[in-house]
Structure 1
Amino acid sequence: MRIELPREAERFGSNLFYGVQKIYELDAGSSQDTEFSSPFHVVQKVPAEKIYEIESQMAIIIPIKNERLKLLEGVLCGIPHACLPIVVSNSTREPTDRFRMESNAIDNYCRFAKKRYVIAHQKDTALAYAFQKTSYANILDEEGVIKNGKAEGMIVGILLAKHFGKKYIGFIDADNFFPGAVYEYIKIYSSTLALANSNYAMTRILWHSKPKVIDSHLFFAKWGRVTRITN
């Protein structure tokens, strides 16, 4: 990948926020760039070997709740083979056991793809026990299981990623219609983390246009929901 080096930054306490870095090439080729090796150049090439090294230490956490199985399979299809998918489901168990359907679909896909994976249900009592033992009981509800919510599912995924010894974490939504976009997400995550000077780094992606499916039509919104609300 060929990516622009960060130019401007703002410091808030101990956190450093860099400006948007432009992606020039998703695939920058395999040969070395002597022309671009100058330390004064503003564009950095991240070699495929370094990207693979990051991906082999990365878990991709996929929160899901009653999404279409074909969409989930598409997301799995877009995840590079070296990454570990961790699916955290809060789907219904009755009257139709959607979680069992998700488990069967993932198991079938990963058997053919020869890919390791992890899937867990957010309301699993074993997960609740694990959070109790780690003194994180405020994530539990009155019934002693993990609360509903996407954020809680993401936290479950982080704990599972740590359990499996992963150094890096990426988050992908289960309702993504474009497997190629999932692949791009993770390549960008890996490349920017490879350039990080700190062990405590986070990457967010800003798209020029991010298509959404609304009433069976594609709507090319300028900003995503998180960008509009959080930023």
Structure 2
Amino acid sequence: MRLNIVPGSSCIGNVEIHEASRVIELDAGHFKDSNKTGDGNGNPLGSKTGDGNVPFSHASLRAIESQLAIIVPCMNEELTILDGVLHGIPHECLIILVSNSNHCNFRNERALLSDFCHSTQRQGISIHQQDEGLAYAFRVAGMPELVVEKHMPQVKRQSVLRIRNGKGEAMMIGTAIAKLTKKQFVGFIDADNFVAGSVHEYCKAYAAGLHYATRYTDCSNTRTSSGIAYSASKPYAMVRIKWNSKPKVKDGKLVFEKSGRCSRVVNEWMNRLSNALGSDDIQSEVIQTANAGEHAMSLELAMKLRFATGYAVEPFQLIDMWEQFGTETDSYGVSYSTKDTAAPPRRKVQILQIETRNPHFHDISKGHEHIQRMQLQGLSTIYHSSLTPPALKDALWAFMTTDSTFDVQAFGAPEEARVYSPMKMMDFQAFRLALKAHADTVTVSGDAAFLF
């Protein structure tokens, strides 16, 4: 793959969000990574000199993919569509299917993944979100807030443990399982993608972006304008996909719209918050992926982030990174004063946004209310952030109460998304043992030893 890396970025504390790069070649050809080959113009691979066209060898992508778990949250999607999604995921990636489907559909999904992994000689894991043993494993591992006790009069015990419903919760399940497999990166792919080729491109973009972010971005041991020190060690990394287009049929013609309805609104307000937090007077629109369902990150970063429930999960990632790494006080209230020369260096967070080539075809039958919920939950993360200046919060509230799109009360506040503790607090040995002993729906295709 070859990317056109754009030099511009926005820095808030230790969080650097790069302007959207573009895929300019799906396959950059066969070559070996070295300073001699570089970007094809005599510049070292990843150098910020030259024209910004950076090739990634097959070997460099495969090195990331072999350490990348692709998590597919699924809820009653058509089996033929899920089949295409699975076929689009590169062979070296571990597939983790987290289903919240009805039990009949889950059996078919599990069989589909098992058959696919058997025929292609690869590894995959499937699990049901409502597995009581899974809920018990999270509770004993130190994440009781993820679990609810449901009254079930038809069972002898009258009540059972369940993981809360939601996409964010499914992502947490997949990430925790990826941690058990000792993978270094996690990526997320929606199960309603109609085109296997776009799934494949997203995964390749994950690998290219993670390779670039962890090896070639500026990690020098310096201080930012706010005085926050960051370490020369490898940065935390995230890649967020910007769809090339979302085609829709209008008046009998296929129209390739460049952005979705939800993205336009949430991106605008996320950029307004970014500009309010930044030190530059220039008003930028660097954020183009506030609602990026397709994204990947280093597992270390995933362990530190707080996950939100529902459709707030992706925009809240940006908010949480600013709150944790963008201020002089970390998430535990520890201050890193510019006067304290003994303050420990803090690692930087590199966020790459990558615009892909394939159009994004997905299920659009969920209706206008679905878009409204996505918009409102995304904007709610901005409204309730401790970083949002009062004037911006007032402007956002005025927007939500005057726009008929949003069903909010004229007096009050939008509902705040449930946010969970970071998973680094979990006891993963206890999680592993409980999952092995009590989870009934876990199916491991391939070498089971790497999990248990």
TM-score by length of 1: 0.90
Partner of 1:203: 239
C-alpha separation in 2, matches of 1:213 and 1:99 = 32
1:88-143, CA deviations, whole angstroms, 9 ceiling, x for partnerless residues? 000012xxx21111111221222212221000000112211221122111111232
Q: Given the alignment of the two structures, is residue 146 of structure 1 paired with residue 182 of structure 2, yes or no?
A: no
1:198-218, CA deviations, whole angstroms, 9 ceiling, x for partnerless residues? 44111111123123689xx96
Q: Which among 110, 113, 121 is matched to residue 114 of structure 1?
A: 121
Q: What is the CA-CA distance between 1:7 and the residue it aligns to?
A: 0.7
Letter aligned with residue 138 of structure 2: F
C-alpha separation in 2, matches of 1:106 and 1:83 = 14
Cα gap change, 1:102/1:209 in structure 2, threshold over 3 Å: closer, same or farther? same
C-alpha separation in 2, matches of 1:178 and 1:19 = 26
Q: What residue ranges of structure 2 are gaps of 5+ in the alignment?
A: 151-160, 215-233, 268-452
C-alpha separation in 2, matches of 1:229 and 1:155 = 26
Larger Rg: 2
Q: What is the CA-CA distance between 1:12 and the residue it aligns to?
A: 2.2
- The number of residues matched between the two structures is 227
Q: Given the alignment of the two structures, is residue 70 of structure 1 paired with residue 80 of structure 2, yes or no?
A: yes
Cα gap change, 1:199/1:14 in structure 2, threshold over 3 Å: closer, same or farther? closer
What's the % identity of the aligned pairs? 40
Cα gap change, 1:213/1:103 in structure 2, threshold over 3 Å: closer, same or farther? farther
Cα gap change, 1:176/1:106 in structure 2, threshold over 3 Å: closer, same or farther? same
C-alpha separation in 2, matches of 1:133 and 1:225 = 41
Partner of 1:53: 63
Letter aligned with residue 92 of structure 2: A
Letter aligned with residue 208 of structure 1: N
Q: Which among 103, 108, 121 is matched to residue 110 of structure 2?
A: 103
Letter aligned with residue 24 of structure 1: I
Q: Is the 8 A contact 1:64 1:87 kept in 2?
A: yes
C-alpha separation in 2, matches of 1:118 and 1:73 = 15
Q: Which among 145, 163, 172 is matched to residue 180 of structure 2?
A: 163
Partner of 2:98: 88
Cα gap change, 1:158/1:112 in structure 2, threshold over 3 Å: closer, same or farther? same
Q: Given the alignment of the two structures, is residue 186 of structure 1 paired with residue 203 of structure 2, yes or no?
A: yes
Q: What is the CA-CA distance between 1:14 and the residue it aligns to?
A: 2.6
Partner of 1:36: 41
139-148 vs 157-166, which moves further: 139-148
C-alpha separation in 1, matches of 2:183 and 2:249 = 33
72-81 vs 100-109, which moves further: 100-109
SS at match of 1:181: helix
Cα gap change, 1:149/1:225 in structure 2, threshold over 3 Å: closer, same or farther? farther
Cα gap change, 1:18/1:90 in structure 2, threshold over 3 Å: closer, same or farther? same
SS at match of 2:149: coil
Letter aligned with residue 109 of structure 1: F
Letter aligned with residue 75 of structure 1: V
Q: Is the 8 A contact 1:36 1:43 kept in 2?
A: no
Q: Is the 8 A contact 1:61 1:157 kept in 2?
A: yes
Letter aligned with residue 203 of structure 1: V
Letter aligned with residue 130 of structure 1: A
Cα gap change, 1:225/1:142 in structure 2, threshold over 3 Å: closer, same or farther? farther
SS at match of 2:200: helix
C-alpha separation in 2, matches of 1:131 and 1:230 = 32
145-154 vs 34-43, which moves further: 34-43
1:57-79, CA deviations, whole angstroms, 9 ceiling, x for partnerless residues? 00000000011111111111001
Partner of 1:21: 21
17-26 vs 178-187, which moves further: 17-26
152-161 vs 25-34, which moves further: 25-34
Cα gap change, 1:73/1:213 in structure 2, threshold over 3 Å: closer, same or farther? farther
Letter aligned with residue 87 of structure 1: L
C-alpha separation in 1, matches of 2:172 and 2:248 = 26
Letter aligned with residue 186 of structure 1: C
SS at match of 2:148: coil
Q: How does 1:208-223 map to 2 (within 5 A)?
A: 208-211=244-247, 220-223=256-259
C-alpha separation in 2, matches of 1:128 and 1:213 = 42
Cα gap change, 1:225/1:132 in structure 2, threshold over 3 Å: closer, same or farther? farther
Cα gap change, 1:165/1:125 in structure 2, threshold over 3 Å: closer, same or farther? same
Q: What residue ranges of structure 1 are gaps of 5+ in the alignment?
A: none
- Give the CA RMSD over aligned residues: 2.2
Q: What is the CA-CA distance between 1:229 and the residue it aligns to?
A: 5.1
202-211 vs 28-37, which moves further: 28-37
111-120 vs 50-59, which moves further: 111-120
Letter aligned with residue 152 of structure 1: E
Letter aligned with residue 23 of structure 2: I
